[in-house]
Amino acid sequence: MRHRSLISLDPDYDDVDLELDLHGCTTLEAKIMLDEAFESSVHTHIRIIVGKGTKSQFGAVLPSFVQNYLTDKKYRFHFASPEHGGEGAVEVYV
């Protein structure tokens, strides 16, 4: 498995506790990273970078995969503001 970015952030960084960058991950890799991130009860606001699929041959896969994952787990989420990635990032509140 390729290394992906799991970054703990300064608490003053837009109130985000954790930023998870899933660029280039398969859905299996993304699921593992999501499971690991949400197993910790420490985080209350997580930003997940999913990308927009502009470099993918078949378009974006991760945005819908992550949305389905979060919906199944009953997490509150929405797309990030444009300055934080817009439709290429998801804000999650645990």
Residue for token digits 């896969």?
61
Give the predicted TM-score (pTM) of the model: 0.81
89 is written with which tokens? 């990032």
Predicted local distance difference test score (pLDDT) of residue 17: 86
All structural domains of the chain with their residue ranges: 5-79
* Pairwise CA distance, residues 10 & 21, whole Å: 16
φ, ψ (nearest 5 deg) of residue 18: -150, 135
**Residues of the chain scoring pLDDT < 70:** 1-14, 41
The reported pLDDT for the residue numbered 54 is 74
pLDDT confidence of residue 31: 97
Nearest to 37 by CA among 60, 69, 64, 11: 69
In this prediction, residue 14 carries a pLDDT of 64
